């Protein structure tokens, strides 16, 4: 495969290097050749357009590799061309990154004009309602035993207590452990295949495992050349028949891509359950489009429970201004959060830090920016 490749220092003092390659094989070879055995891949992204369809027309991967040991630094090759150093890739949005760096809730920044001003009556509840906070979440919060205290606090403190309350409830949910057999299930177009590609790229480049993919048709056509080409590019074998699969191990987990299941056809869901039982697939991830109406999402969860679903993946998170409608699903569905997807890029826009992602989209930006005093004057 002939490929235009460049190897450049991503940031002169960071020991990070950027490669643009056409396949995982080429990335592995170049990293080893140019950076040595100590280099590790820190991120991989699709270059040129978004979505699987654009990816297959000209598959290119941008790989950022980092040198971890001082010995290998000494052998560093100089950038091969005269192009200026590149900035590191945007791994996450600045807000998400800021929140991810603020694991301690005490540090959640609340840039209010007057953060110490007290709220009265149900001021906080009205304010949240006005800024589009999900009603069902709001009534859940109002049923918390400490709500009577929260509503007496200043806006900054009230938001902090709500964040703590949500986080505590998230963490107290029992987690279903992941296994080596994972299927992505959901309604048509919910983002299953795109999510699968993101998970696969993460497995290959970051976890250094060798995943396999089984594509099940199950009577419903699941034509998808793009998945086949994506698998080829990142060096993953795609199987179409379960009985041809080699042994599944910790190093060679199995991922299953399925056709979309319509909420109107319960039969499709039960057939899929039989197929997954037959293949011994234990981890069953329901992929939902987070931009859908909450009632539709609730129905998807209820329907998927008949299929023995264990985990929840949320796509189209980038399209949400506020993710509060997703909290009741996350807290009450009994499904373990799996990941959040933030865009069409098939190798990026993916986070396993669901709690941080949710917190970063719980309170609208305007609520931070707005002083409570101006709200009171309305
Ligand atoms: N904005 C945005 N678009 C996404 C995201 N995930 C997937 N998409 C887009 O949603 C569309 C459907 O994605 P697919 O991954 O093909 O969905 P699917 O569930 O596999 O679809 P079927 O196999 O046809 O049921 C594509 O155009 C994707 O690029 C996301 O997180 N954000
Ligand atoms: Mg698909």
- Per-residue pLDDT at 215: 93
What spacing in Å lies between the alpha carbon of 52 and ligand 1's midpoint? Answer: 9
Which of 191, 213, 221, 323, when mutated, tests ligand 1's pocket best, judged by the most ligand atoms within 8 Å of its CB?
Answer: 191
150 lines ligand 1 (CB under 6 A): no
- Ligand of minimum distance to the alpha carbon of 220: 1
Report the atom number in ligand 1 closest to the C-alpha of 317: 31
Q: Which CATH class is domain 181-347?
A: alpha beta
Residue nearest ligand 1's atom 6 by CA: 191
Ranges of each domain in the chain: 7-91, 95-172+364-376, 181-347
In ligand 1, which atom is closest to the CA atom of 190? 19
- Alpha-carbon distance of 118 to 181, in angstroms, equals 52
Q: Show the low-confidence residues of the chain (pLDDT under 50).
A: 1-8, 10-11, 71-120, 371-378
pLDDT score of 188: 95
**Which pLDDT score is estimated for 222?**
61
Residue range 221-244, pLDDT digits in tens: 666 678 998 999 999 999 999 999
Which atom of ligand 1 is closest in space to residue 52's alpha carbon?
29
Of 145, 174, 149, nearest to 160 (Cα)? 149
State the average pLDDT for the chain. 81
Q: Can you give the pLDDT at residue 225?
A: 76
Coil, strand or helix: which one is 185?
strand
Tell me, what's the pLDDT at 49?
74
Q: Which two tokens stand for residue 136?
A: 């069902």
In this prediction, residue 369 carries a pLDDT of: 60
Ligand 2 centroid to Cα of residue 215, in Å, is 10
**Cβ of 194 less than 6 Å from ligand 1:** yes
Could you give the count of Cα atoms lying within 13 Å of 354 in the half-sphere of its Cβ? 21
Q: What pLDDT is stored for residue 337 in this prediction? A: 98
Residue 182 is predicted with a pLDDT of 98
Calculate how far, in angstroms, residue 265's C-alpha sits from the geometric centre of ligand 1: 21
Are the beta carbons of 281 and 181 closer than 8 angstroms? yes
**Dihedral of alpha carbons 192, 198, 199, 200, sign:** positive
pTM above 0.75, yes or no: yes
C-beta 357 within 6 A of ligand 1: no
Q: What are phi and psi of 41, to 5 degrees?
A: -80, 125
Query: In the prediction, which pLDDT does 220 show?
Result: 63
Q: What is the rounded distance in angstroms from the CA atom of residue 266 to the CA atom of residue 159?
A: 41
Query: pLDDT value at position 52?
Result: 80
Measured in Å, residue 56 CA sits from the centre of ligand 1 at 15
Specify the pLDDT at position 39: 85
Whether 320 lines ligand 1, by a CB cut-off of 6 Å, is no
* 109: Cβ contacts below 8 Å, ≥ 6 apart: 98, 102, 368
Q: Which residues pair with 214 in a beta bridge?
A: 239, 256
Q: Which atom of ligand 1 is closest in space to residue 187's alpha carbon? A: 25
Q: Does the C-beta of 192 come closer than 6 Å to ligand 1?
A: yes
| Ligand of minimum distance to the alpha carbon of 289 | 1
- Ligand 1 center from residue 62 Cα (angstroms): 21
Phi, psi of 131, deg, nearest 5: -90, 15
CA of 191 to the centre of ligand 1 (A): 3
Q: Kindly calculate the radius of gyration of the chain based on its CA atoms and give it in whole angstroms.
A: 23
pLDDT at 68: 67
Element (H, E) at 15: none
Residue 263 has, within 13 A of its CA and on its CB side, a CA count of: 14
Output the CA 377–ligand 1 centroid distance in Å. 44
- The Cα 270–Cα 267 span in angstroms is 5
């Amino acid at each position: 495969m002939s490929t235009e490749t460049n190897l450049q220092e991503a940031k002169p003092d960071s020991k990070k290097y950027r490669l643009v390659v056409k396949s995982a094989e080429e990335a592995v070879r170049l990293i080893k050749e140019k950076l040595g055995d100590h280099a590790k891949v820190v991120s991989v992204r699709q270059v040129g357009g978004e979505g699987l369809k654009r990816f297959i027309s000209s598959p290119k991967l941008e790989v950022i590799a980092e040198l971890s040991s001082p010995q290998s630094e000494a052998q560093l090759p100089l950038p091969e061309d005269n192009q200026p150093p590149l900035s590191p890739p945007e791994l996450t949005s600045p807000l998400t990154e800021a929140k991810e760096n603020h694991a301690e809730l005490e540090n959640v920044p609340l840039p209010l004009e007057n953060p110490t001003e007290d709220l009265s009556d149900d001021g906080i509840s009205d304010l949240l309602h006005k800024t589009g906070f999900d009603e069902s979440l709001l009534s859940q919060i109002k049923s918390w035993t400490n709500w009577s205290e929260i509503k007496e606090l200043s806006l900054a403190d009230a938001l902090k207590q709500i964040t703590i309350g949500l986080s505590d409830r998230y963490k107290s949910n029992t987690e279903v452990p992941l296994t080596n057999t994972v299927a992505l299930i959901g309604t048509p177009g919910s983002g299953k295949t795109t999510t699968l590609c993101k998970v696969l790229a993460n497995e290959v480049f970051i976890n250094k495992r060798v995943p396999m993919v089984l594509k099940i048709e199950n009577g419903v056509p699941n034509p998808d050349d793009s998945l086949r080409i994506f698998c080829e590019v990142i060096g993953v074998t795609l199987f179409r028949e379960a009985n041809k699969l080699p042994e599944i191990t910790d190093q060679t987990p199995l991922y299953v891509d399925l056709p979309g299941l319509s909420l109107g056809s319960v039969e499709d869901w039960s057939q899929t359950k039989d197929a997954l039982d037959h293949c011994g697939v234990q981890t069953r991830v329901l992929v939902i489009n987070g931009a859908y109406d909450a009632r539709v999402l609730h129905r998807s969860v209820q329907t998927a429970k008949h299929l023995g679903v264990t985990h929840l993946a949320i796509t189209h998170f980038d399209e949400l201004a506020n993710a509060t409608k997703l909290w009741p699903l996350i807290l009450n569905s009994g499904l373990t959060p799996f990941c959040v997807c933030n865009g069409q890029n098939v190798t990026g826009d993916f986070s396993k830090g669901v709690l941080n992602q949710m917190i970063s989209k719980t309170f609208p930006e305007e609520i931070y920016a707005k002083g409570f005093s101006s709200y009171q004057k309305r």
